[in-house]
Amino acid sequence: MECPHLSSSVCIAPDSAKFPNGSPSSWCCSVCRSNKSPWVCLTCSSVHCGRYVNGHAKKHYEDAQIPLTNHKKSEKQEKAQHTVCMDCSSYSTYCYRCDDFVVNDTKLGLVQKVREHLQNLENSAFTADRHRKRKLLENSSLNSKLLKVNGSTTAICATGLRNLGNTCFMNAILQSLSNIEQFCCYFKELPAVELRNGKTAGRRTYHTRSQGDNNVSLVEEFRKTLCALWQGSQTAFSPESLFYVVWKIMPNFRGYQQQDAHEFMRYLLDHLHLELQGGFNGISRSSILQENSTLSASNKCCINGASTVVTAIFGGILQNEVNCLICGTESRKFDPFLDLSLDIPSQFRNKRSKNQENGPVCSLRDCLRSFTDLEELDETELYMCHKCKKKQKSTKKFWIQKLPKVLCLHLKRFHWTAYLRNKVDTYVEFPLRGLDMKCYLLEPENSGPENCLYDLAAVVVHHGSGVGSGHYTAYATHEGRWFHFNDSTVTLTDEDTVVKAKAYILFYVERQAKAGSDKL
């Protein structure tokens, strides 16, 4: 956005001697001494941590406004308000009064001069001593990521995702999708797109919520993020470009408050689907799909128009049967889906752990059965019967008419009460292998036994008590090993740990080859 406060807030000399020593990306907060997410004030050159660390950069701005609240602001008092700061890692500029990232500059170009000076400081910090220390750190990090598999030493090649401020909901979904091989490979094999040309070619783009939609591409930023994962990097990748595109095209996710991971996943898949339908940087959607020969026409499920890789992999079809209890008229409707949202049966909602006594453990089968069982609609959901020509009591039942290649199951853990949204913290038992979906099919005789078996690929877990708080992590399997993704931290784990997780979203992949009958 065009910020009107730069002239009164950018007061430091571009080559100010007040800057700390060392590389800007490792500067420490002057209050808590944290070197995570340092921001420099462009009024006084003081360094503080970002809002998702301890928030001292924002507090520095708020403290500077206190004297102005006791009396009428004058033009002189507005000259130095500490409202604008710069990220010492990405060099993007943010105004607290506008509450947005800034793309313009002062008449003298001071913002760009400060940015260039910080970049020079960062480059000069890579001296021989810095290089030696970094090599030692990399070696130490690499050694810590080594493990023994079948007697040989193997390195963990997974890369974490940096938390940009309560963005764990996004990180958990991205890590889960990156481990769904067919989906991930499709995007990684797309051609790279150059969104900038002319005068801005080769420069970094600083996305803001006010920029036009024509210069952002969710598909491209999603592709870049997937390519950055699983490359063996020892440092976490920062998905800031993707996050700013999310801000631009998904207004619900603007800001730094906690969000619902399932809601984000649906928005993400829907927008990827729509962008691929419209063509990608001049490449038609049809030609893109033709590049992936495994996505045959018979496996595509169309949602909101033509098919894309999103519907080809996640798309299934439900048959919704409604029967009038007065005249017996039956109504059938086919609904496409990308995921199934399953209620946790009420009789299990007090069962919080697998080992807790007081009755049987809730299983995924119980949730699926509750979803597909015959249900009598209550008074608030009366069915408009075309034969009776008025709303009547009725029953409803779901059948799965077509199973997807990747079955995404969302356990409905959050429920609204009169005043707030409560979390159902029930433990739900789920299989790692051999989830058999045949009994939920409309025509099971038309499906082979191997086409109805699913193996777990990833699990998203919500830790905490409410949807607006807590923390999201993910478990996913890659090349036969399970990993735990906790933002920038990635650790190896085992199957026993995974099955004890209180799953929120489960991603099951259709089994291709016949294997042992480890059925649910």
DSSP letter, residue 384:
E
Local structure of 484: helix, strand or coil: strand
The two tokens of residue 77 are 């008092």
Q: Which of 5, 117, 463, 471 is catalytic?
A: 471
- Decide if 508 contacts 455 (C-beta within 8 A): yes
What's the sign of the alpha-carbon dihedral 451, 456, 458, 463?
positive
Catalytic residue among 168, 324, 362, 452: 168
410 within 8 A of 505, measured Cβ to Cβ: yes
Q: Which of 435, 456, 404, 452 is nearest to 180 (CA)?
A: 456
- Residues 468, 420 contacting (CB under 8 angstroms): no
Closest among 168, 320, 288 to 223, alpha carbons compared = 288
Q: Are 490 and 158 in contact (CB under 8 A)?
A: yes
Q: From CA 426, how far away is CA 360, in angstroms rounded?
A: 12
Burial class (CB in 10 A: 0-12, 13-18, 19+), 445: exposed
Q: Are 461 and 503 in contact (CB under 8 A)?
A: yes
Q: Which two tokens stand for residue 471?
A: 């923390």
Our measurement of the distance from residue 268's CA atom to the centroid of its chain's CA atoms, rounded to an integer in Å, reads: 8
- Residue owning tokens 């990748």: 237
**DSSP letters for 323-375:** EETTT--EEEEEEEES-EEEEPPGGGTT--STT--SSPPEEHHHHHHHHHS-E
Number of Cβ within 10 Å of residue 197's Cβ equals: 8
494 closest CA partner among 483, 507, 506: 483
Q: How far apart are CA 291 and CA 316, in angstroms?
A: 22
301 belongs to the catalytic site = no
Task: In whole angstroms, give the CA distance from residue 7 to residue 9.
Answer: 6
280 phi and psi angles, rounded to 5 deg: -125, 100
Rounded-to-integer distance, Cα 269 and Cα 167, Å: 17
Check: CB of residue 302 under 8 Å from CB of residue 311.
yes
Is 41 noted as a catalytic residue in this protein? no
- Give which of 321, 191, 170 is closest to 258, Cα–Cα: 170
Alpha helix stretches (DSSP H) within 15-159: 56-65, 110-124, 128-144
Please, are residues 237 and 229 in contact by the beta-carbon 8 Å criterion?
Answer: yes
What the block records as the tokens of 283 is 């490449």
List the catalytic residues: 168, 471
